[in-house]
């Protein structure tokens, strides 16, 4: 069923409002819900994007962060809402995780109602390591007299095995971990820092993880599609990553070619955007 006109809204995640995910959702019969938080230290306190400064995408220092693309780059109320959401996460993680569990459970039911499969991106504009130190509880039907309800899970991925989760990440150590089978990570490349660029290409080579590269223009990206391109230790075919956002459906061992969107990204001079 087409999901282009269907919209799911909740306090933490949204589906049907991102043009790129809508296009991919239609083709693959998924509905993608994304959580948008305030990146780096935009909300104050803890840094939600550990590699933002190193990789040259810190929005507080002129980086080409996605937080400045789309409507968020025009309507400040959107970013104010993201900051408020992020502060809920920072101030009481357990309560926030409970809120997220409730919203994903509602999204799963919404997807079943509309005949689509649920996919979730938790790091729409952040780079939180959700696989560690983020336990949660989910109400489950008792199938054994000794089973607790709600049950405690090590992560949101373990709590919702019926959901396909995926994210981009600049925290390259994450791809070396044994991740849950329903969580897919795509490395995000940047030449803002030579050491970082080398570490990312090394991680891609050693783990087989795909690597996303942002190009200055659509024309440059299109020129490189289906060609072998070398970055550090990684030499791979480039695919068009803008046809869909469903990174877990990509072939293995490729460079995911994207083109810069939004004024901040197009004018990026840090090395995050290439070309």
Question: Looking at the predicted structure, is the pLDDT value of residue 2 above 50?
Answer: no
The mean of the pLDDT values for the chain is 87
Place of tokens 């933002």: 52
pLDDT in tens, 41-97: 777 777 888 887 677 666 665 555 655 555 444 457 888 899 999 999 999 999 999
- Parse the chain into domains and list their residue ranges: 8-274
What residues does 215 pair with on adjacent strands?
259, 274
Residues 222, 227, 233: CA angle, nearest 5 degrees: 115
C-alpha 209/C-alpha 190 separation (Å) is 15
Note if the pTM is more than 0.85: yes
Q: CB-based contacts of 241: which residues, under 8 Å, 6+ apart?
A: 212, 247, 250, 256, 257, 258
- The answer to whether 93 and 8 have CB atoms below 8 angstroms apart is no
Beta bridge partners of 131: none
% of residues, the chain, pLDDT over 90: 68
pLDDT at 145 over 80: no
CB neighbour burial string for 240-264, b if at least 16 within 10 angstroms, e if fewer: bbbebbbbbebeeebbbbbbbbbeb
Task: Report the distance separating Cα 257 and Cα 212, nearest Å.
Answer: 6
Burial classification of residue 163, based on how many CB atoms lie within 10 Å of its CB (0-12 exposed, 13-18 middle, 19 or more buried) = buried
Segment holding 108, helix H or strand E: helix 93-114
Asked, as a colleague might, if the bond just before 150 is cis with ω within 30 of 0, I would say: yes
Residue 1's pLDDT band, with cuts at 50, 70 and 90, is: very low
What would the mean pLDDT of 85-113 be, rounded to a whole number? Answer: 97
- C-alpha to C-alpha distance for 135 and 153, rounded to whole angstroms: 6
Q: Three-state secondary structure along 150-176?
A: CEEECCHHHHCCCCEEEEEECCHHHHH
Kindly report the CA angle at 100 between 97 and 105, in degrees rounded to 5? 125
DSSP summary character for residue 47: -
Give the 3-state secondary structure percentages of the chain, helix then strand then coil, rounded to 5.
35, 20, 45
Q: What is the mean pLDDT of residues 126-153?
A: 85
pLDDT at 24: 58
Q: Give the whole-angstrom CA distance, residue 275 versus residue 214.
A: 9
Calpha distance 14→71 (Å, rounded): 14
CB 260 within 8 A of CB 268: yes
| CA–CA distance, 208 with 38 (Å, rounded to integer) | 30
């Amino acid at each position: 069923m087409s999901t282009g006109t269907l919209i799911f809204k909740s306090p933490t995640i949204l589906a049907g409002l991102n043009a790129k995910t809508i296009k991919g959702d239609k083709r693959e019969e998924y509905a993608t819900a994304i959580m948008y938080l305030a990146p780096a230290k935009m909300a104050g306190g803890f840094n939600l994007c550990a590699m933002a400064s190193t990789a040259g995408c810190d929005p507080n220092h002129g980086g080409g962060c996605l937080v400045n693309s789309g409507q968020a780059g025009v309507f400040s109320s959107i970013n104010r809402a993201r900051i408020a959401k992020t502060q809920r996460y920072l101030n009481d993680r357990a309560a926030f995780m409970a809120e997220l569990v409730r919203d994903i459970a509602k999204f799963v039911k919404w997807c079943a109602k509309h005949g689509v499969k649920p996919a979730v991106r938790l790091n729409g504009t952040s780079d939180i390591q959700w696989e560690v130190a983020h336990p949660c509880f989910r109400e489950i039907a008792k199938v054994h007299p000794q089973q607790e309800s709600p049950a405690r899970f090590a992560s949101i991925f373990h709590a919702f095995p019926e959901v396909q989760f995926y994210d981009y990440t600049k925290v390259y150590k994450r791809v070396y971990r044994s991740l849950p089978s329903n969580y897919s990570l795509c490395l995000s490349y940047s030449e803002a820092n030579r050491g970082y660029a080398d570490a990312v290409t090394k991680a891609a080579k050693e783990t087989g993880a795909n690597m996303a590269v942002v190009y200055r223009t659509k024309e440059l990206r299109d020129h490189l599609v289906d060609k072998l391109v070398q970055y550090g230790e990684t030499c791979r075919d480039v695919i068009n990553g803008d046809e869909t956002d469903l990174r877990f459906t990509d072939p293995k061992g490729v460079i995911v070619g994207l083109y810069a969107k939004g004024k901040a990204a197009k004018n990026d001079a840090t090395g995050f955007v290439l070309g």
